[in-house]
Chain A
Amino acid sequence: MSEPWFGRPVPRNEDSRLLTGRALFVDDVDAPGMLHVAFVRSTLAHARILSIDLSAAAQRPGVVAVFSAEELGDFWQHGPLLVQPPPIEGLVFNQRTQPLLARDKVRHVGEPIAVIVAENRYIAEDAAEDVWVEYEPLDAVGDLERALEPGAPLVHEDLGSNISAHVVQKKGNYEDARARADLVITRRFHYDRGVSAALENRAYVAQWNARQRELTLWDTTQAPIPIRNGLARMLGLSEFQVRVVAPFVGGGFGPKIMMFYPEEVLVPWLAMKLEAAVKWTEDRRENFFATTQERGQVHDAEIALTRDGRILGVQDRFLHDGGAYDPYGLTVPINSQCTLLGPYVVPNYASEFTAVFTNRTLVTPVRGAGRQHGVFVIERLLDIAARELGIDPVEIRRRNFIPPDAFPWDNEVIFQDSAPLVYDSGDFAAVLDRALEIIGYDTFLREEQPRLRAEGRHVGIGVVAYVEGTGIGPYEGARVSVETDGSVSVATGVGTQGQGHFTTLAQVVADPLGVDVADVRIVTGDTREFRWGTGTFASRGAVAAGNACHAAAVAVRDKIVRLAADILGAPPDDIVVANGHAGVRGDAARRMPLGELAARANPLRGAVKPGTEPGLEATAYFGAERGATASGVHAMIVDVDPDTAMVKILRYVVVHDCGRVINPLILDGQIHGGVAHGIGNAFYEKLVYDENGQLLTGSFMDYLLPTSLDVPDIETAHHETPSPLNPLGVKGAGEAGVIPGGALFAQAVENALAERGIEIREIPLSPNLLFTLLVEAERRP
C-alpha cells in the first residue's frame, strides 16, 4: 500500500491555471452583445429621497435602459432573511432587510438608488453621473449608545427604535458568583469596523437564453446553491432553469456569502428583461460602501474570580453595530457571545446584547465572524485579573482550562447554528505548552526581555488562547465518479475562494479509490454539477464537504470491489484497489484498470443483475449533529517604539488544533493568511466614519491593508485532537489565524510598555491610539 495522500503536503492541482492567467474569474466572462451596468448610489448616509431624475441618463448615447425603484414595478422587493435567529427564549429580532433599490429613503452611503444599463461600463458610469437625486438630509445614526437614546434619529422609522435585536443568554447565576468573588474586574471594550478586502471585488454576469428559458449567472459567491434557489423563487423560474456558477473566486472572507445583494438580484433580472447578457463588476470604491463589513461592538464586561485566579463567572453586556439592514440575522453577535467562553471553565455566565441599526454599510460575517470580540473581551479580562492578582498571564489561563477528559463539554448556551454550544474535543494545555516551548516563553521572560530592556528596548510577549466553533451544519454533498479513462471526477456544492478544495478534496477521495491526486478532477460551485448544499463559510468546507467526498468515495470503492470480484472471480475481501487498478491480493496478473471497470459498469448491451446502478459513481451527504471544536494558542513577541508608537513583530507563533490535517502545506497557508488579516484588524485597518456617516477611509490609500513589510514570518505547529463527530476527524481551519489578533496585540504591547502603565481596551490599536494612550499615561499623576 502506498503512502496515503491524506496528510501529505501536496502542491495544488489548481495552481497551474491560476499561475498562467487561464483560470476563469467572473469578470473574465464575455458574451456577444453583453451589456454593462453601473449603479447610482446614495451620497448621504441618511436622507429622504425627494425626487430622482433619470431623463438625462436615459438620453445619453449608448445607454440601453435606466431603472429606479419605481421602474422596477412589481419586482421591487426587500432581500430575504438569510439566517433565522436561533431559538433562544425571549429573543427579540426586528427584521429589516435591504431593498433592491432605495425608495423614499436612503440608509447608508453607497446604497443603490438607480441602475444604468449601457453598451459599455464607461458609458454606464457617465450616465450614472447624469442622474439627479434630490435629497432631504437626515441626522445620521452612528454612535451605538446615542442610537438607543430617546429622540435619536431612526434608521427604520416604522420600528420606533434602532433596536435590531436583543438577546440574553445565561448559564448558572452570575450574581451569586459575584457575591462570592475575591476580585471583580469591570471594563469597557471597543472593537471597530474593517472590510474583508478580498482582492477581487464582487462581480455578476447573467445570461438569459430566451429560447431554452434558462438563466445562467456567474457569481462571485461563496454559496451558489442558496443563490440559485432564491433567484429561482424571485424570478419565477424553476430551480432547474437557473444555473449559478461560482468559478474561481478571488477571496471570499464572508461577505461573498449568499447575500442576495441588490446587484446580485438585479443583474439576472435585467438579463431576463433585456434578453441579453449583462455584467456588473464592483469597483474598489463601491466595495468600501456596498459590500458588507464587520466588527463594531462595545462591551461592558465583568469577571469575578477567586484570589487564586479561578473564574467564578463572567457578565457581558454589549452593543453590536448591525448597519442599516439585518439580512444575516444574529450570526455575528451570537458568535461573539458564545466565543467569549473560550477554552475556559466559566461556571456562571450572563450575556446580553443589543444589535443596533446604524446608517452604515450592512454588517455580516467577515473571517472570524464576531469571534474576535468574544476572545478580546475574555482574554483582556484575564490579563487584567492576572495583573491584579500577581499571577502570570499564562498561568491564569492554564488554571481555568477545561481539562482534556471533560469532553463533550456543554457550555449551556445556544450557538449560531441553533444547536447547543457543546465542545467536542480539545487539549488546551498541550497546545499552550507547545506554543510556550516554541516561542521560548520562560527564557524570554528570564533572560531576553531583561537584557533587551537594559539596552533600552521595549520588547514584550503575549500569549492568548481561543476556541473556534467550526464545521457547522446543516450538510454538504458530493458525487464521485470514476471515468472510463481511469480518472476520477468529483462534484460538490461548496464554492472555492482559494482554500485549495481542488487538492484537499482530491486527497480525501484518492486514498479510498487508490488513484493519484493529480487524476482527481474537482468541480465546485456549479449548481448544474451538484444540486444540493449550502456553501463555503464558517470554516466548514473540510468538515462538511470533505466528509461527504469521503463517504461518496467509499461507496464507489464498494462498487469497484463488487464488480472486480465478479469479473476477476475472487471473493470481495481479496480485492485490492490501488494504483489505478482493482486486483486480486497476491496475484499481480489478475487485475484491471479502474477505467476499464468503469466501462464495464456501464454496459451498452446485455442484461444486468436487477437493482444494478450504472457506473462507478456514488453520491453521499454529510451533516454532523453539531460543529467541530478547533482551538489554538497564538504567541507573539513585539518591539515597540514609544516615540513613534510603531510596533514591530519579532516573532509570531501559532499552535493550532484542527483535528486531523489533510494537507499541512495548505493548512499553514490558511493560518498565515488569517494571521495577516488579524494583524491588519489589530493595528492597521479601520473604517473611520464621520458624524454624518461618511466613510473617511474609502480607498486603499486611506485604509491600510498589511503589506509584506508588516506581516512577519509565522511559525506554526499543529496538535491533532481528532473530532469525534466526523469520520475524517477533521475540524475547520479557515478562520483560526484571524481570531485572536486583537487580544494578542493588546497583551504583547502592554507587556512591552509595562513600565508606562497603559491598558489597551480598544481595537484596532492604531499607532495613533497607542500614542494617545502613552500621552495620557504620562499625564496621569
Chain B
Amino acid sequence: MDAFRRLPGVGKRSAERLVLHLLSAPEGEAHQLSEAIATARARITTCSQCRNLTETNPCGICTDSRRDASIICVVEQPAGAMAIEKGGMYRGLYHVLHGVLNPLEGVGPTELRLERLYTRLDGGTVEEVVVATNATAEGEATALYLSRQLGQRNVRVTRIAHGVPMGSGLEFSDEATLSHAMEGRTPLG
C-alpha cells in the first residue's frame, strides 16, 4: 500500500482501492501489470542528448529531422516536455534538467548537469533557448541563471510567457495556455 501511496496523485483511499483490486483480481492480471512495469522500466533510459526519458537513444524527438534544431526548450521534468508536446505547436527540441536550482536541497549547476546543455550549444546550430521552468522562486532563479550563462554563448535566451498559474508546474496547465505561453515568450536577462 505504501508503495502505491508514493506514486504522484495517489492518496490513501486510491491506494487502498488499487491494492484491493489487485489482490482480488485473477493472479494473471497482477503479474501482467508487474511485468509491464518491469519491462518498461528496463527499456526506459535518459536520452544522451536532451536527457528526456526514452526507449531509444537518442530519443525520437532528437532524431526527428523535421524538428527545428535551432531552438531548444528547457524544462524541469519530462512531464513538462510531454505537456508542451500535447500542445502540438512547438517544433523545436528539448532539454530536460530533472530539477531546478535549489540550494536548500543541495541542487546546484553541477547536480543539474548544466554542462550537458552547454555542450549542445557548442555545435553552433542552436540559435534560441526557451526556458520553460515553472513560475516558482526556484524556477525563476534557474531561468535567470541560464540566461546569465548562455548569454555569453551567442544564443538568444527567452522565457515562456507565464499564463501558467503562479507557483504551479507545466503539467497542470492546459494545452491552450501552453501554446499561448510558447508564442508569448520574451527575452530574458
Q: Does A pair with B?
A: no
